[in-house]
Amino acid sequence: MLKLTKKADYGLMALKYLAEHPECPAQSAKDIADAYGIPAQLLAKILQRLTKTGLLRSHAGMNGGYALSRDARQISAFEVIHAIDGPLFITSCTKGAKGCELTTNCTIKEPLARVNETIVGVLKSISIYDLAEREPNAHAAPPAQALVTLTM
Amino acid sequence: MLKLTKKADYGLMALKYLAEHPECPAQSAKDIADAYGIPAQLLAKILQRLTKTGLLRSHAGMNGGYALSRDARQISAFEVIHAIDGPLFITSCTKGAKGCELTTNCTIKEPLARVNETIVGVLKSISIYDLAEREPNAHAAPPAQALVTLTM
DNA sequence: CTAAATACGGACTATTCCAGTCGGATATTT
DNA sequence: AAATATCCGACTGGAATAGTCCGTATTTAG
């Protein structure tokens, strides 16, 4: 449980792929799908959605495809996940405005909301660049240091 | 997305309820379910599972029910969630031993694994006691300070 | 100008997972 | 013996996810 959807995974993988091939002006959905062995049509729809939210730029026609709309360092994992899966709630009961229907108190919700914020914070601190520039062997010095302080 | 199951929510709520009523030797599943308006039979199964994993102690018969097996401060939210929902994986592809089937690389997985660990860390730092000792009005000074440092 | 390659997008199907129910067995107290 | 509990396996309904199909629009190559 507490899983990302496969679509979000696919989206992250695709952006990583694009970040790793900055020389190419665009990569088609099919190319990316083939590279990872994921269903092409499904990935296509994901990329379309990422285009609609402005993370990608698309170009139809031959040699068309998708490209990052910004530098990979400027795109966070959170943005990708949010674009694909929608808002991120850890509790089942957190609904838009009406809150929890459970009678007295879902007091649980309040502390878990902080956990939620923490997760969001962490995901925001990870950029697509971070995902890409990792050769399997270069496992050593990780640069950035994200510090999350949660008071409770 | 990235949601806890309702069962986990219910489990946390139930333990919180038990922590708030330390005077009673035991609370029946039905009592707790009624207190929150959640399905009694469903909660019963959840409590049974928590008993099997050792977080609760049960007692059949009249005036029977469930009680915390340890001090509320010694039970983490993570333990509860893990007992109910099983191991906590943020990525869809993390399977027991075989890892990811996707051909080349699910390089995504490695950075996300750290996110995973962070979440687990936060959940481990929250005890049932933390959930319970919160009167709706006492919204002021939160005591404990959990500090999560993640390097990436 | 035509054909190929590509993005776009709605509708549909399949499958999995979660939530909740049912029925019956066992244990304990009164 | 009866009432109150826990215990546990099996089943069902529904929602959400994963994936497919098919037609349209756009751009480039030849």
The DSSP-derived string for B58-69 is EE-STT-EEEES
* Residues A70-78, mean pLDDT to the nearest whole number: 97
**Roughly what angle, to the nearest 10 degrees, separates helices A40-52 and A77-85?**
110
The Cα of A25 is separated from the nearest Cα of chain B by a number of Å equal to: 23
User: Rounded to whole angstroms, how far apart are CA atoms A102 and A110?
Assistant: 14
> Does the pLDDT at position A116 exceed 60?
yes
Number of residues written out for chain A:
152
Which of the two residues, A116 and A92, has the higher pLDDT score? Answer: A116
Which of the two residues, B87 and A82, has the higher pLDDT score? Answer: A82
Nearest CB neighbour to B91, from listed A4, A36, A149? A4
Tell me what pLDDT residue B133 has.
72
> Does the pLDDT at position A68 exceed 80?
yes
Measured CA angle at A72 (ends A68, A73), to 5 deg:
150
Best to test chain B binding among A103, A108, A125 (most B CBs inside 10 Å): A108
Per-residue exposure over A14-39, b if at least 16 CB sit within 10 Å of its own CB, e if not: bbbbbbbbeeeebbbbeebbebbebe
Tell me what pLDDT residue B2 has.
77
pLDDT band of residue A151 (cuts 50, 70, 90) is very low
B66 bridge partner residues: B27, B58
Nearest CB neighbour to B13, from listed A36, A108, A146? A108
CA(A116)–C1'(D9) in Å? 35
Tell me what pLDDT residue A140 has.
37
> Does the pLDDT at position A21 exceed 50?
yes
Tell me what pLDDT residue A137 has.
42
Q: What is the mean pLDDT of each run of 10 residues along chain B (152 residues)?
A: 89 96 94 95 98 98 96 97 89 53 59 87 94 56 38 35
Tell me what pLDDT residue B114 has.
84
Mark the nucleotides of strand C covered by protein, meaning any atom under 7 Å from a CB. 4-11, 18-23, 26-30
> Does the pLDDT at position A114 exceed 80?
yes
Tell me what pLDDT residue A147 has.
39
CA(B42)–C1'(D12) in Å? 15
Which of the two residues, A37 and B107, has the higher pLDDT score? Answer: A37
Contacts (Cβ under 8 Å, ≥6 apart) of B47 = B11, B14, B29, B32, B56, B58, B66
Residues of A in contact with B77 (CB under 8 A): 111-112
Tokens 């009523």: give the residue.
B21
Nearest CB neighbour to B37, from listed A12, A38, A103? A103
Measured CA angle at B83 (ends A3, A110), to 5 deg:
65
Tell me what pLDDT residue B148 has.
43
Q: Residues 76-105, chain B: which have Cβ within 8 Å of A?
A: 77, 81, 85-86, 88-93, 102-105
CA(B50)–C1'(D5) in Å? 16
